[in-house]
Structure 1
Amino acid sequence: MDTTLDTGTRVNLWRCYLLDTRCELLRLLREPMYIIPTLLFPALFYVMFGLLLGGRGSGEAARYLLATYGVFGAMGAGLFGFAVTLAIDRERGFFALRRALPAPPSAWLVSRLLIAMLFALVIVLELAALAVVFGGVSMTAGQWALLWTVTVLGALPFCAIGLLLGSIASANAAPAWVNLLFLPMAFLSGLWLPLSMLPGVFATLAPVWPAWHLAQIALGVTGQAGTAPLWLHLLVLIVVTVACCVLALRRLARAV
């Protein structure tokens, strides 16, 4: 697909997106402070809580935490992949530079979305391998495919939240803001431990968090979801994604 930019130069949009994605991926691979926690922490937590502590016996806990730690990994990929790098790029004048390049303005956004979903896919495949080999988790091929799809696409709402945080926070403050949201949301959404093991007030407040809604969709694939309808979870995630994107892009348009 070719298009003509304001400069009059004809470019292939797909090539621009692929080149941007490649460069952004190389950039992140050179950042161990992002790669190591994002890819390894969900797997390590799953081994500790899903396999060593909870996976003994029926394997229900291993299957439950397979779904919720996949959501946990998608959250991290989306939030950290957007918020921190975006805040740094804003302060370094990255967006002013992009305006002078013969590339579509959306290339940076598309590339980061693709990378966040790629990282979410790697995480959920890691968890699946651990669940099958060490946790005795068994599901149909359709369930596995659907669970992976839910987790990968589930990174998008958190990309949007990260986009909003990155458009507001400074480069120094962005990691703190992300952790301040990321860790409490994971715990209060029942991603680390089932909400049934916590005081009742946590279960009452859980629907406030988008992570809880994504976890309920993932748990529905494994046959462990609650009673809330699927359309409600999807509606909340879509509203969060659209609202955060609109607010963030408006702020970025004013800033650059």
Structure 2
Amino acid sequence: MIDFTRDGHLHTPFCPHGSTDPLQAYVEQALARGIKTLTFTEHAPLPARFQDPTPDKDSAMAFELLPDYIEALQSLKRTYPALDLRLGLEIDYLPGYEAETLALLEPYADVLDETILSQHFILVDGELLPVDFSLETFHVLVERIGSFEAVMKQYYTALAAGLAFPWERLKVDRIGHIDLPIKYQSNYVWDRSNVQAEQSRLLQTMAARGFGIDLNTAGLRKPECGQPYAIEVASDAAGLGIPFVLGSDAHIAKDVGAGFESIQKKATFL
């Protein structure tokens, strides 16, 4: 069963591509919507060797801000003791940087409650390219790989391979927006059945590792997507016993819990 009083994917003022809405505003919005459990999952700092390929160089929190982020969340917990507030991160799976990511973040693992492993970049001919920065940068990815379906296949295949690493050491318990490229799907003709083999392998790998899925409502707020991320894989995932955690992926306070009612009304896999 899905807990509709839990938002497991939230960003903060520490996000360089988010808003300046204070943490308290996120909590107050949650209270207004009857949400009792909140996991703040700010984009984790990236390895020093990694060069952010997005035009704005704003993919993740700076490493020097990580202690401040931790202290801010610990203070928030003290301010709202009646709520279940959890300190987390959204950790990027970067092909070729796995060991560095683990080494960078493992010293902070003890203070983390739970984390998400997400993929925002795809490796193409030795170059990591952004998946969700903009339609223009995404189309470069499509042209480099060959088609929208080829991007989906490579996305799933890369993430499945990446799960060979010991992400549990960083408190990872679920995979974020498992089909992120659908953010731009209305611009392309594609058929999910053509990526079924890669999708199934990823889900089976997740099930074997005990990882859950971030059922992410941000896709509802993306006009070229129009649906929650992971909704199309939900039936297969449920059949494998993979658990779901609802996440708004809110980058502004008013989006906390956004779209949860839509899931509750339409999800036939509950």
TM > 0.5: no
More strand by share: 2
TM-score (norm 2): 0.27
Q: If the length of structure 1 is used for normalisation, what is the TM-score? A: 0.28
Q: Greater helix percent: which structure? A: 1
**Higher Cα radius of gyration:** 1
